[in-house]
Structure 1
């Protein structure tokens, strides 16, 4: 990573204080997971970068964007990276092998490569996952939401995550990939294990074991699924992924398995968290903004972008330094892990005045919730559409819904933030 100009060093925040906040955050302190934003504010105040153990933390808007587009940073969880080296030194030999195999699988994902290889894989993926595919899903997503509403009608209270929110993105991604209904729960379980891994402690023997088992169970499932669907009728998306397009190029089996794994995980885990986080922000923290949505449900599409900025699910993404350099006044060694805090950058006052305020009517700069640059999330349009439909339909149907308990239990995950449970009282249903 070459030395690049960064924002000015402030250092009003004491390094020892920031170290303690980072320790609590990466140790899954429940209070920090529930409200990480004071930590992010301290990170931005400190300077362009802060070294914590085996990673460098970056939290300012402009600095995050520079790193996400820098040609000498590499995406992914490479076995050369500082976090892998730290974790593997703490494991016995069998678990070292499992962790290395898991990393090597992850590196085949679209999010795990850069340069010419990334351009090739992304072109193939975009040839299949076109705007038309997403737009054609709209009426069907609305039908799925209506079906889910039928399962909660007549009830006073519901557990919004397990009864509603997690079903929608899971059904959508499984239908796009032609996954049978009876297999959805298996894919959800594997996806949940992957979520625990990306935001977990890699030196934990049980986590390494469960992740390795789930990754390779999902791999075997996908290989079998592809073998069947190559000779059967299937969905347009899966057919395009299987056949490939452009210059006769196509995915290898392993590349396709890795891409589908990423789609299942991102299409389910992060979308569920986005819906859950949005309901908390609107029903508990900013009821006035929920009332705006109730008054004008067509505001939902614009509301999703403000909610992504304010309470997006992905807290940070890791990149690796392809070469030595500096970020601000922090020296970077080759293969150092640079944690780019997207959620922090989306509250940076230099980019978002009153960034700690949720305002569905505000005109904002583009947020970083889906990343920025070459690795901008491939499924961003689908995630936006799903969340907007849910918000619009719930505001129309249950305008008086409230949280049963203001205290929220979040998943024990510092990378992907979202509620584990969310009990709501529906209130009077409004007929449409």
Structure 2
């Protein structure tokens, strides 16, 4: 699965090809919601869906009218045996197989299990902040210091990945989800992504075999136990599960953290000082971040049968991109939708999806983001994005965030 597509669909429309457009796509979303809420793009051979009710309807019917599997796309070509691991993940499987795959690891991501991780996550966050502040001199890049390393460390520890291998993991996952820039040779770009996927697969094959021989208390052992003739997972499903957990377990959280800081900074210079973990205001503000600048802006679906939606006829096998980022700014659902409202309630956003494919890692992403922001707000004051910051959007067709985010602050002694 290339970063330039989701499940075989090219998601980037022409309007979002430029850097500035992807940094703030929301004016284009508004135009589409008003003038072309469901439209067919002949260049991409894909339907785009922008309004909240239509997006939610599609996501709510994954088990009936719509599929997440790219194998249902008209003209789909199966990738080579050593490249199609991500196709076997729960993300791209329909019921009943989706539920069977999800059940293998969902116990580790239940809210109670995740709450037990808070002390460890808080310790890791404090250590990372201490390390960053040694030479910070009133400024640090929150991506390098916190938003990038913390989620990688946490998911690596859950999987049971050795400490020395974490940076390699981050490189692999970043490469796989990245979209191609206009000045990049397409063939070389695809080869780079395929190479990253093959290297990651080879690594996990070795780790799964090690867990069979020497089981440990980690998710890799859980997956290894379920892989094989006597277990629930096929060989490719076991590899796909490992790769999905690694990629989804760090990429989206990294950008949720940085998107939150952008939202807080843009809203009010005093907002950082007023949010609190104790009174719930920080958690509420994070929910508004998920609506206002969610880490995942798009998902794909495929009609199982001919479907009429919003007066348009979608045929079985058509590609569909549902724009979560546009749905979450729909005035029909959210009053004053283009305003960041930290205490918005109710807030039925689609930041983690909806329906049976609702994000398995949502509790972990929320916890990590809350802990990071709470520690920053507790230990630093006068936090602002550096005035000279040159924000560069992550080049992905569905992940939304920035590559770096330099902050200026005062240190609370």
TM-score, normalised relative to structure 2: 0.88
- Kept in 1, the 8 Å contact 2:50–2:323? The answer is yes
Among candidates 379, 400, 403, match of residue 417 of structure 1: 400
Residue by residue, what CA displacement relative to the aligned partner does 1:34-68 show, whole Å, maximum 9, x if unpaired? 11001111111124411113111111111111101
User: Where in structure 2 are the equivalents of 1:397-412 lying within 5 Å?
Assistant: 397-404=379-386, 405-412=388-395
- Decide which of 94, 117, 131 is 1:151's aligned counterpart: 131
Moved more, 198-207 or 47-56: 198-207
Query: Is the CA contact 1:315–1:341 (under 8 Å) kept in the aligned structure 2?
Result: yes
Which of 272, 278, 291 is residue 254 of structure 2 equivalent to? 272
Counterpart selection for 2:101 from 106, 109, 121: 121
**1:75: Cα distance to partner?**
0.6
Equivalent of 2:14 in 18, 23, 27: 23
CA RMSD of superposed structures (Å): 2.7
CA distance in 2, matches of 1:342, 1:368: 6
Deviation at 1:347, TM superposition (A): 1.0
1:385 CA drift (Å): 0.3
**Following the alignment from structure 2 to structure 1, what is the Cα–Cα distance between the partners of residues 186 and 329?**
32
Matched, 1:42 2:31: yes
Say whether residues 1:356 and 2:338 are aligned partners: yes
Choose the corresponding residue for 1:339, options 308, 321, 334.
321
Cα shift at 1:118: 1.0
1:307 aligns to 2:289 (yes or no): yes
Describe the shift of the 1:351–1:313 C-alpha distance in structure 2 as closer, same or farther (beyond 3 A).
Answer: same
Find the partner of 1:65 among 45, 52, 56.
56
How far off is 1:120 after superposition? 1.2
Distance 1:103 1:364 in 2: 43
Corresponding residue of 2:68: 75
* Cα offsets for 1:147-201 (capped at 9, x unmatched): 1011112422112212221000000000101100111111111101111159999
Report SS of the residue matched to 1:426: strand
Report the 3-state secondary structure (helix = DSSP H, G, I; strand = E; otherwise coil) of the residue aligned with 2:258. helix
Runs of 4+ in 1 over 6 A off after TM superposition: 198-203, 294-297
Task: Tell me the TM-score normalized by structure 1.
Answer: 0.84
Q: State the 1:287 CA deviation.
A: 2.8
1:233-288 CA-to-partner distances (Å, cap 9, x unmatched) read 5234333333349xx75322321210111111111111111111111111234434
Give the match for residue 381 of structure 1. Answer: 363
| 1:77–1:103 contact (8 Å) kept in structure 2 | no
Structure 2 stretches lacking a partner, 5+ long: 1-11
Larger deviation, residues 44-53 vs 216-225: 44-53
Q: Secondary structure at the match of 2:339?
A: coil
Q: Size of the alignment, in residue pairs?
A: 393
- Residue 229 of structure 1 and its aligned partner are, at CA, apart by 1.7
> After superposition, what is the alpha-carbon deviation per residue over 1:88-113, rounded to whole angstroms, capped at 9, x for unaligned?
8xxxxxxxx9x655773221011011
For residues 173-322 of structure 1, the aligned pairs below 5 Å read 173-197=155-179, 204-244=186-226, 249-293=231-275, 299-322=281-304
**Which structure carries more helix by proportion?**
1
CA distance in 2, matches of 1:198, 1:364: 38
The answer to whether the 8 Å contact 2:83/2:198 transfers is no
Compared CA separation, residues 239 and 171, structure 1 to 2 (3 A): same
**Residues 65 and 145 of structure 1: CA distance in aligned 2, closer, same or farther (over 3 Å):** same
Contact persistence 2:109–2:363 (CA under 8 A)? no
The structure-2 alpha-carbon separation of the partners of 1:376 and 1:202, relative to structure 1 and needing over 3 Å to count, comes to: farther
Given that 1:102 and 1:211 are in contact with CA atoms closer than 8 Å, whether structure 2 keeps it comes out as no
What SS does structure 2 have at the residue aligned with 1:179? coil
Moved more, 108-117 or 195-204: 195-204
